[in-house]
Each structure stands twice: as structure tokens, then as C-alpha cells.
Amino acid sequence: MGSDPDFIVHQITSGPNTFLTNAFLIETSGSLVAVDAMMTVSDARNLRRRADIIGKPLRSVLITHGHPDHYNGVGELLMGLGNIPVIATESVDRTMRRIDDAKEIQWRPVFGEEWPKERVFPDRLVSDRETLLFDGVPFTVRELGPGESHCDLFWTVGTSRQAVFVGDVVFGGVHSFMNDGHSLDWLSSLDVIEKELQGVGTLYTGHGNPGPPMDLVASQRRYLLHYRKTVRNLSKGKSSLSAEAKKDLIRAMKEVLATDALEGFITAGADAVASELSRKGN
């Protein structure tokens, strides 16, 4: 939990079987704003219980990007609360709707009844750089485009930009999800974040620990550059890696980030990045 004169941040983290995903409840003087909403029924209900314990009304749900571990649980979070806006940009909303059926086909067999039967999508769209006020606390959205996902954004919060909620553009000390194959764009997004978030107090990540923005951005950049270099060397121009090459990739990435946390992401995204690198200009 972090605090400052305007708001308090409550971080809720799922278990490793649901990817150590973070969601946040931002407590203002009179209400709560959620950032993301978990993936499974149980994790979303845990988020809701935390909101109920705090005891302030939930005013809105802000979405950072269109991966289901960040939006699937919106319906469970809002169950019985009435008409509460779910907010994202048009591009993030479009991405969520476009991939939702395929993600359900992929993951419902894994999670069964834990996969929400119906997903709730944004019903209020905001524009890049638009600011919303909740109890006088400004929440400003910045859309980045493709990167970790097919469209990323972040929310800067507080009168003196005390916090930024960056979704999965930055991972905090855990391995990164590379499956969407936009690693070059992702590096460009990090350049934008580094330029625009000078002076921000704390960066809150979609997976892993919060910390100083510039330190976390620098670590993420090193990770991406090493991942791209290693995949390029192992793939030798092909659009996929062999099973043996993926073992080499795991070893190489754990030399850069010596943790088992979300290790499965290393090989899961290898072919997507190999395919990306095999195309001219990447």
C-alpha cells in the first residue's frame, strides 16, 4: 500500500496460476476507483471483498489494456453495484472485443467455471491525454498503441503525479509476456514513458512490484533488448524456435532476470517474437 495527501493505493495480486496479476483500488477521500479487475471469478471476488472492506463506494473501473487477466473480472467486481462506468480508450476497447472470443476458447478449458461466463466491456470511452476527476484527484490517460499488447495505455494519478498505473508495459521483477509480437513498438513505448514520466513518484505494474519509474523502465528495456537479441541469434532468421532453442532462451533470460516468477512467459512468446524479427524492419 502506498499513500500521499490525495489518495491511497491498495494493490491486490493474484496467485501464480493466474499470472501474479495486479489490480488496484485507489482510495480517495470519499470513494474508490479500480484499475483493472483480474481474470478469474475467484480473483475478481477477492478484489470485490477488498473494496467492501475499505467501505467506500466504487466510482469507476479503469482498464489498462485488452488482456483478459486485466479485464475479465469486471462483471464480478461490479455485481449488484448498479451502473458504474468502465473506462478505456476506443482502441483498447476495440482490442478487448476483438480478442475476447479467442481468449475464451483458449482459456475456458483451463479455468472451467472460474472463467467468467460473460465479460463486461467499457461503456465510457476517453481520448488520449484526457483527465477525469474523482473527489478532486486527477486521472490522466495516455495511449501508447501496440507494445506489450495490441494497444497499451497508462493512467497518471494525483495532483503532483504521485503515481502511474502502467499495465503491462513494464513488469516489476518478473518475466514478461511477449506473445503479441510487438517488441519493437514496445521499446518505443518505453521511450515515451521515460520522456513523459520524469518526476512521477511511483510506477505500479500489472505484474510484479511497484517502484521508481526510471529504474523499472530501464530494467524493462534491458530485458526486451536481450530477449530480442537472443531470439534473433537462436532463430537464425526463421519465424519460430526449436524446442532446444527455447531451452537456451530460458537460460539466457534467467541470466538477465534471475527469478522463476512467470518463467513460462519466456518460451510462450518466443515464436511470436521470432516471427516479428523475421520481417523486414524489425
Mean pLDDT by groups of 10 residues along the chain of 282 residues: 72 98 98 98 98 98 98 98 97 98 97 96 98 96 98 96 97 98 98 94 97 97 98 97 98 97 98 95 82
Determine the pLDDT at residue 2: 47
Rounded CA separation 18/8 (Å): 25
Three-state secondary-structure class, residue 251: helix
Determine the pLDDT at residue 5: 56
- Which residues are within 8 A (CB) of 17 and not within 5 positions of it... i.e. 6 or more apart? none
Number of domains in the chain: 1
142 within 8 A of 196, measured Cβ to Cβ: yes
> How many other CB atoms are found less than 10 A from the CB of residue 211?
17
130 within domain boundaries: yes
- Which residues are within 8 A (CB) of 258 and not within 5 positions of it... i.e. 6 or more apart? none
Residue numbers of the domain that contains 193:
2-212
252 within domain boundaries: no
Q: Of the candidates 19, 20, 51, which has an alpha carbon nearest to the alpha carbon of residue 34?
A: 51
218 within domain boundaries: no
117 within domain boundaries: yes
Helices (H) and strands (E) in the chain, counts: 9, 12
E strand or H helix that includes residue 9? strand 8-13
Q: Are strands 58-62 and 32-35 parallel, antiparallel or unpaired?
A: parallel
275 within domain boundaries: no
Rounded CA separation 67/147 (Å): 12
Task: Quote helix, strand, coil % in the chain, to nearest 5.
Answer: 40, 20, 35
Residue 187 belongs to domain with CATH number: 3.60.15.10
126 within domain boundaries: yes
CA distances from 159 to 5, 140, 164 (A): 9, 10, 12
Rounded CA separation 159/173 (Å): 28
